[in-house]
């Protein structure tokens, strides 16, 4: 069973108001996977980075939600890069490609996907609609990605 963590980066939302994170948790559960933590942190690079480090110590995949746009307050990709070692660009590319079929604004996403050790860290958008569309575009590859990160062969 996959173990996932959700980190929502928002200076305006609380956990109770985190509709995107809550919906992601429901979709994770529907796959038979476990949500090991779900937190909301302020849009501050250091806080997001610390949350990623803490979550990655206890799960296979960390999903961040929010903070990947063009606003100067959007620092999730930088926080992710601060604490991760290896880029996994195809996942972010797949999300943008799928999103481009719905809105041309998807090209403005700065979301990244990286590995911290064997844990995948994936930046998702903050809105409910965009976060779930992006999740739906990539989740079918999670089990294989986790197996590969653990050293399994192709």
Q: Which residue(s) pair with 38 in the sheet?
A: 6
pLDDT at 151: 87
Q: What is the pTM of this model?
A: 0.97
**pLDDT over 90 at 128, yes or no:** yes
Rounded to an integer, the average pLDDT of 19-39 is: 98
pLDDT band of residue 58 (cuts 50, 70, 90) is: very high
Q: Which residue(s) pair with 123 in the sheet?
A: 64
Q: What is the dihedral of CA 75, 124, 52, 80, to 10 degrees?
A: -50
pLDDT at 152: 78
**pLDDT over 80 at 118, yes or no:** yes
pLDDT at 110: 98
- Per the CB < 8 A criterion, the answer to whether 86 and 80 are in contact is no
Mean pLDDT of the chain: 97
Angstrom distance (rounded) from CA 16 to CA 150: 34
**pLDDT over 80 at 84, yes or no:** yes
- Per the CB < 8 A criterion, the answer to whether 55 and 3 are in contact is no
Of the candidates 60, 140, 69, 67, the residue with the CA atom closest to the CA atom of residue 98: 140
pLDDT at 145: 97
pLDDT band of residue 17 (cuts 50, 70, 90) is: very high
Domain boundaries, the chain: 3-143
**pLDDT over 90 at 28, yes or no:** yes
The CATH classification number of 3-143 equals 3.40.980.10
């Amino acid at each position: 069973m996959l173990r996932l963590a959700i980190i929502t980066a928002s200076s305006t939302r609380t956990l109770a108001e985190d509709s995107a994170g809550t919906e992601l948790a429901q979709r994770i559960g529907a796959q038979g996977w476990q949500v090991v933590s779900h937190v909301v942190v302020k849009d501050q690079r250091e806080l997001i980075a610390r949350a990623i480090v803490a979550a990655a110590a206890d799960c296979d995949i960390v999903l961040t939600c929010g903070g990947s746009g063009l606003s100067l307050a959007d620092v999730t990709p930088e926080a992710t890069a601060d604490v991760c070692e290896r880029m996994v660009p195809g996942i972010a590319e797949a999300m943008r490609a799928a999103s481009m079929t719905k809105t041309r604004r998807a090209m403005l996403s700065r979301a990244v996907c990286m590995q911290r050790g064997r844990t995948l860290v994936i930046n998702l958008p903050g809105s409910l609609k965009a976060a779930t569309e992006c999740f739906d575009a990539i989740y079918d590859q999670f089990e294989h990605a986790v197996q590969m990160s653990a050293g399994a062969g192709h």
